[in-house]
Amino acid sequence: MGTRSPAALIEHLAGLVLSVDADATGVAELDRGLAELIDSLQGAPSAQLDLSLETRRRLASAQPLDAIKLVSDAVVVLQQQPAPAAAPKRVVRDSETLELVRDFLEESGDGLANADEMLLAIEASAATPDQVNALFRVFHTIKGVAGFLELSEIVSLSHATESVMNEVRDGRCKLAGESLELVFKATALLRGMLDALKKACEAGIELASEPEAQVHIGRLKAFLAKMPREEDAGPPITAPGKPPLVQAAPPPAVVAAPVVQPAPASAVVAVPPVAAPAPPPAGFQALPLAPQPPEVAEGQAPVAATKLRETVKVDLERVDNMVEMIGELIIVESMLKHSRELSTQSLTLRNALGQLGKISRDLQNAAMRMRTVPVHGVFQKMARLTREVGKKAGKDVVLVTAGEGTEMDRAMVERLEDPLVHMVRNACDHGVETPEVRVAAGKPATGVLTLSASHKGGSIIIELSDDGAGLDRDRILKKAVEKGLVQNPAALTDAEVFQLIFAPGFSTAAKVTDISGRGVGMDVVKRNIEGMRGRVLIESTKGKGTTFRLVLPLTLAIIDGMLIKVGKERYLVPSLSIVEALQPTREMLSSMGERDELLSVRGQVIPILRLSQQLAIEGARQDPTTALIVVVESVGKRVGLLVDEVIAQQQVVIKALGQGVGRAEFYSGAAILSDGCIGLILNVDKLCGLITYRHRVASGDAHREEQR
């Protein structure tokens, strides 16, 4: 066989589908064909590869008759997916091109984000000429630079979108309903293509074509064809295909698509748009949180404001370096202040030191702020997501945001996106009821999600509320009892009951929809937030709605830790995971098979982990009654860490342990202590995980461990 191209193998497979018999031999032949195809696609993740793997997996369990149908369906799809995905050609881009692409990605990303924002505003109220012009410019700019970079597909798509905007600008159509939908979709596609471009550049391969883009270009052109044209006398359907697209004419096969496309495209979008332009004023005024007039005024103000604010683009690494150095400065400053030699000296010296302290702290704040970005961007994505998910679920949902200007650590904003997506999806899908149900319950037909951000104390609070059905305490409890998660249902507070939806396995879609319609991916949300050292709180009133409150630390760079000592070594335990520290009495201790020690505190039995043993530390205290036990908690599991002493609680700057020290899985990082030495930060999750494991296999492992 040798090296046949994927395309040839797909052809071969298509032939097989027609020729093989519906029996075991036939299935085996199909399987072989698929295997070859998978081989040839290997190494380049693509939709084709995914589909082939999936098909082969399903083929294994299919009846011969179904098998042929299965493969032939797959072949049809495979044939439609164009070749580039299958064989990514390596492309060498010189550094200058990469620089240009990077700038292009950045600018276009900003532009599209702006466009999204404007489109959402336009959807809520009518478009202003300024907005239309701004949108036009966004696509125009993208087209211009993409043309320069020879990204023909992006050029065609932005060109077609620009043409639609042009029609709007010249007053030949309104930006509402179908046209708005088309432009919306175009921004989504462009964003996807920009992502693909970024990945292609990073991997040094050719940019794959995006089939959906061609289809959408067809739709846009079909839309344009319907526009009245003074200067153009040509037949409406072919006209838009020719004149404007000289620089990047799509392949002829695609030109055929628009002819087929218009009907379904307009059919899809026809339903919501008809209702959209008229009702918004009424719908919006009915909502408590969406005052219509100010929003229109604000819609323009931020645009002007962002134009005025000048920014400098700085390499993130430089900023990080500076933040790191300032962190060091703070440490040295505190070493100076606490040094014995200086404390007895003159008042002037102490004053100067005080000044120094203040300035370095200001400097640290300033540096930290350089790392922060407003949550605005993520919130905007959520607005978009709400719109899409709501539409898919057949619900009328709007997202109202507040406090978008709240700034957070850049890394956290990125990590926040995933959990928010899950939460917004859940809220749209399960939280908010269908319009009919809502009206029957005496609520406005349009559901409102409120996403807000604010600073409170030393934390950042992100809240997502919906005005939907709320969580059903009784049904959650019933399910939890069934699953054996809860013994004494009556004793639980509402908050404790709601926390149950985060239990892993509690959240698989089917089961949870039975209970409350909540919880898909909720354990993911919780894990993500806890990974950022935050917490998730839930409030819910049946019939009124649910509020998820994320409480997050201001930055990921600093951690509040408890410094402990074992033998001669010092370690940091994150304060957030510490439940208590105590010196046990003899009565509190018991053991299991002589090896596994247990601590009883207030009726709870907690396994003890000897840090000295786990980390091979010499010279640690062996008798728990003369040492200390720090009880830590992770994912609901409690473990008592046996340590010599607890030294102090302190805030430290987290540093990556970096490479070169192996897997180092028991540490989540390192920190510079006040004396300049390094303290390792213990990874409580891993340590707790260890105990659970030992716990489970304890019976089988006990004597093996004893033999050692």
Interface characters, 557-596, with another protein (x: CB under 8 A): ------------x---------------------------
Sequence-distant (≥ 6) Cβ neighbours of residue 198 within 8 angstroms:
101, 105
Burial of 701 (0-12, 13-18, 19+ CB in 10 A): middle
Contact with another protein (CB under 8 A) among 35, 260, 661, 697: 661
Burial of 692 (0-12, 13-18, 19+ CB in 10 A): middle
Query: 276 vs 332, which CB is nearer to another protein?
Result: 332
Spatial CA neighbour of 93 closest among 207, 196, 194, 190: 207
> Residue 325 Cβ, how far from another protein at the closest point, in Å?
6
Other beta carbons within 10 Å of 636: 9
Question: Quick check: 325 binds another protein (CB under 8 A)?
Answer: yes
Tokens 């930006």 sit on residue: 175
Contact with another protein (CB under 8 A) among 202, 659, 700, 708: 659
Question: Quick check: 327 binds another protein (CB under 8 A)?
Answer: yes
Contact with another protein (CB under 8 A) among 59, 630, 672, 687: 672
Determine how β-strand 578-582 pairs with β-strand 372-374.
unpaired
Contact with another protein (CB under 8 A) among 92, 297, 308, 677: 677
Question: Quick check: 203 binds another protein (CB under 8 A)?
Answer: no
Query: 291 vs 676, which CB is nearer to another protein?
Result: 676
> Residue 103 Cβ, how far from another protein at the closest point, in Å?
22
CA-based R_g, the chain, Å: 31
Read out DSSP for 391-439?
HHTT--EEEEEE-TT-EEEHHHHHHHHHHHHHHHHHIIIIISPPHHHHH
> Residue 609 Cβ, how far from another protein at the closest point, in Å?
13
Residue 630 DSSP label: E
Burial of 278 (0-12, 13-18, 19+ CB in 10 A): exposed
Q: Which stretch binds another protein (CB under 8 A): 217-225, 265-273, 473-481, 663-671?
A: 663-671
Other beta carbons within 10 Å of 426: 27
Task: Pick out residues in 95-114 that bind another protein (CB under 8 A).
Answer: none
Distance, in Å, from the CA atom of 444 to the CA atom of 408, rounded to the nearest integer, reads 34
Question: Quick check: 670 binds another protein (CB under 8 A)?
Answer: yes
> Residue 617 Cβ, how far from another protein at the closest point, in Å?
7
Question: Quick check: 550 binds another protein (CB under 8 A)?
Answer: no
Contact with another protein (CB under 8 A) among 92, 267, 312, 656: 656
Query: 182 vs 566, which CB is nearer to another protein?
Result: 566
Query: 232 vs 324, which CB is nearer to another protein?
Result: 324
Query: 386 vs 668, which CB is nearer to another protein?
Result: 668
Distance, in Å, from the CA atom of 673 to the CA atom of 573, rounded to the nearest integer, reads 13
Query: 27 vs 672, which CB is nearer to another protein?
Result: 672
Q: Which stretch binds another protein (CB under 8 A): 366-374, 494-502, 519-527, 662-670?
A: 662-670
Q: Which stretch binds another protein (CB under 8 A): 486-494, 506-514, 629-637, 675-683?
A: 675-683
Question: Quick check: 664 binds another protein (CB under 8 A)?
Answer: yes
> Residue 333 Cβ, how far from another protein at the closest point, in Å?
13
CA distances from 597 to 31, 110, 303, 602, 695 (A): 54, 57, 63, 17, 11
Interface characters, 420-459, with another protein (x: CB under 8 A): ----------------------------------------
Tokens 């589909």 sit on residue: 51
> Residue 92 Cβ, how far from another protein at the closest point, in Å?
16
| Total of residues contacting another protein (CB under 8 A) | 30
Determine how β-strand 628-634 pairs with β-strand 578-582.
antiparallel
> Residue 666 Cβ, how far from another protein at the closest point, in Å?
7
Question: Quick check: 24 binds another protein (CB under 8 A)?
Answer: no
Report residue 457 CA to chain centroid gap: 26
Q: Are 399 and 389 in contact (CB under 8 A)?
A: no
Distance, in Å, from the CA atom of 467 to the CA atom of 400, rounded to the nearest integer, reads 12
Question: Quick check: 510 binds another protein (CB under 8 A)?
Answer: no
Question: Quick check: 646 binds another protein (CB under 8 A)?
Answer: no
For residue 592, list its beta bridge partners: 596
Contact with another protein (CB under 8 A) among 259, 370, 524, 657: 657
Q: Are 480 and 492 in contact (CB under 8 A)?
A: no
Q: Which stretch binds another protein (CB under 8 A): 220-228, 249-257, 406-414, 658-666?
A: 658-666
Question: Quick check: 678 binds another protein (CB under 8 A)?
Answer: yes
> Residue 566 Cβ, how far from another protein at the closest point, in Å?
10
Spatial CA neighbour of 607 closest among 518, 689, 501: 689
Question: Quick check: 680 binds another protein (CB under 8 A)?
Answer: yes
Amino acid at residue number 206? E
Using DSSP's 3-state secondary structure scheme, residue 676 falls into coil
Question: Quick check: 218 binds another protein (CB under 8 A)?
Answer: no
Spatial CA neighbour of 653 closest among 669, 677, 632, 675: 669
> Residue 651 Cβ, how far from another protein at the closest point, in Å?
16
Distance, in Å, from the CA atom of 671 to the CA atom of 650, rounded to the nearest integer, reads 11
Per the structure block, which two tokens stand in for 167? Answer: 């029609």
Sheet holding 535-541, edge to edge: 397-402, 447-456, 459-466, 545-553, 535-541
> Residue 321 Cβ, how far from another protein at the closest point, in Å?
9
Q: Which stretch binds another protein (CB under 8 A): 104-112, 282-290, 489-497, 653-661?
A: 653-661
Contact with another protein (CB under 8 A) among 666, 668, 684, 688: 666
Query: 586 vs 663, which CB is nearer to another protein?
Result: 663
Question: Quick check: 655 binds another protein (CB under 8 A)?
Answer: yes
Query: 349 vs 661, which CB is nearer to another protein?
Result: 661
Using DSSP's 3-state secondary structure scheme, residue 249 falls into coil
Amino acid at residue number 283? G
Question: Quick check: 676 binds another protein (CB under 8 A)?
Answer: yes
> Residue 122 Cβ, how far from another protein at the closest point, in Å?
44
Question: Quick check: 286 binds another protein (CB under 8 A)?
Answer: no
Spatial CA neighbour of 211 closest among 11, 77, 108: 77
Contact with another protein (CB under 8 A) among 324, 530, 560, 701: 324
Query: 678 vs 697, which CB is nearer to another protein?
Result: 678
φ, ψ dihedrals at 518, nearest 5°: -135, 155
Query: 452 vs 683, which CB is nearer to another protein?
Result: 683
Q: Which stretch binds another protein (CB under 8 A): 51-59, 163-171, 580-588, 667-675?
A: 667-675
Q: Which stretch binds another protein (CB under 8 A): 184-192, 363-371, 488-496, 659-667?
A: 659-667
Q: Are 480 and 500 in contact (CB under 8 A)?
A: yes
Distance, in Å, from the CA atom of 525 to the CA atom of 577, rounded to the nearest integer, reads 18
Task: Pick out residues in 601-630 that bind another protein (CB under 8 A).
Answer: 614-617
Give the H or E element holding residue 31. Answer: helix 24-41
Distance, in Å, from the CA atom of 220 to the CA atom of 217, rounded to the nearest integer, reads 5
For residue 399, list its beta bridge partners: 449
Site for another protein, rule CB under 8 A? 324-325, 327-328, 331, 569, 614-617, 655-667, 670, 672, 676-680
